Homo-oligomer: A and B are copies of this chain.
Amino acid sequence: MSTSRNYEREFVRTFFTSPTAVEGNEDTAKLLRSAAQLSGMEAPDTWIPDNEDATAPSMRSEGVSNIIEVVSEHGATFPGEIHPRVVWHRDDPSKRYQGFQQMLEIADPGNGAVDHIDGFVIPEVGDIDDWKKADEFFTIVESEHGLEPGSLSMSVIVESGEAELAMGELRSEIGAPSNRLERLFMLVDGEVDYTKDMRGMTPTGGLPEWPELRHNTSRGASAAGLIAVDGPYDDIRDVEGYHERMTENRAKGMTGIWSLTPGQVVEANKAPLPPASGQWLLEIGGETVELTAVDEGYEYAGDEVTLEPTGDDQFRLKTGATDQTLDESALQEVVVDMTAYISGLDDMVDSMEEFEAAKAAGKGAIAMTRSATLIIDGVSVSIQTDRMWDEATYQAAMTPISLFQDVYENRPDQHEELAEMYGASVVERAMAVGTDD
């Protein structure tokens, strides 16, 4: 019995659902066909032709045919993974049987699609025994069609309280003799149905934030070696809101997010990648302002801070209600407290290389120094920040690099765009760090 997961990706940025069969079009496979031909930053890491909620019940049989047709034709060149979503419901055996039949039909080797199918997505799962029912159908599909046991991965949509609880049991259930839950791949939050199941209500009908659900999904994924993906962001025109949600999610350990449109795919593919260059920030009265890179350093061009030399090597610094007169060293200290730095990929690689060299030289911890000249109200202030790095810091700092490496290894179609964003030499160095671990 295999105990290793059956997927290569360690990170998934984009979970892109596209409607399967849209009634009313003459060609009901049209949207599927255009999704199947995406590439580069426009192509998702995982593409989910959706034969559940996005397809009317009466069209699902045609949806299966369309998936088979489009995946057979375009699957070989599609750069991401393909995981069709079939129907399922923890409370409805007839839905479950339909889901089983849809999988059986799509995975039939006779129709040529299965070579390009990486797995299936099962929505509306319930508690762990319900997950096992789905797993059993995967096993039968593999057995009937002569596929390698465990070769089809299973992802689930967590959209009920019982599924949220089930994520706490995965570690002790995966690998039991009577299941093959090692096939689990993505744990995806589905906040619309979850809100219904939890009976959540908000004044304007918007979705609640559900921070605890997202934490529990991320923790469940971490504990069981899976990948956590957040649900759809409804307001597809609100790019800034989508980015804020992704930033929040990454702080929770949730790297991936559902995309509803090709535009959202591009945003969601780029968002978790490290920035191409570093960025100094100044925090003023609760607000964070980006400094502008100029020849002499990084400049604050706003008027909410005033700074002037008062003679005698003293400086007067006014921000909001505080008004301080400081000598140079005290000024530097205050300015260090007011600033923050977002590392670019090149900075990250520099730091990793520096720590790796120190480790090779037998040092367990080193001070990582960053220097800059900030220009505030026309006055230059040279600052320097130190941070102690030990093995734990190094490994935590590795996360964005690992993500980058995972993308680079699995998405050759994005190499060109990555080289454009970062420059070829930074890409090469980024691929080299951390490999001695």
Contacts and interface: CB of A to CB of B under 8 A. Distances in A.
A201 B250 contact: yes
A140 interface: no
Bin chain A's interface residue count: 35 or more
Contacts of A255: 199, 201
A119 B397 CA distance: 32
Contacts of A421: none
Contacts of A364: 23, 55-57, 59
A251 B363 CA distance: 40
B396 A195 contact: yes
Contact of A253 (B57, B165, B199, B390): B199
Nearest to A340: B204
A127 B395 CA distance: 21
Contacts of A160: 222-223
A338 to B, nearest CB: 12
B399 A200 contact: yes
A252 interface: yes
Interface string A129-170: 000000000000000000000000000000011101100100
A33 interface: no
A37 interface: no
A21 to B, nearest CB: 10
Interface string A198-241: 11111111101101110110111111000000000000011000
Contact of A161 (B54, B219, B251, B396): B219
A393 interface: yes
A224 B91 CA distance: 13
Contact of A222 (B197, B201, B211): B197
A365 B58 CA distance: 12
A392 interface: yes
A326 interface: no
Nearest to A10: B199
Given A252-B208, A399-B199, A165 B392 contact: no
Given A171-B165, A223-B165, A364-B57, A396 B218 contact: no
Most buried by B among A196, A250, A341, A396: A396
B392 A200 contact: no
A272 interface: yes
B212 A341 contact: no
Interface string A384-408: 0000001111011111100100000
A193 B250 CA distance: 16
Given A23-B364, A392-B53, A219 B198 contact: yes
Contacts of A398: 196
Nearest to A238: B337
Given A197-B222, A222-B161, A363-B23, A211 B212 contact: yes
Contact of A168 (B23, B56, B168): B168
A343 interface: yes
A379 B390 CA distance: 58
A162 B168 contact: no
A116 to B, nearest CB: 27
Interface in A157-190: 160-162, 164-165, 168, 171-172
> Across chains A and B, which 9 residue pairs bring their CB atoms closest together, nearest first?
A56-B364, A198-B253, A161-B222, A161-B223, A208-B251, A196-B396, A212-B215, A161-B219, A162-B223
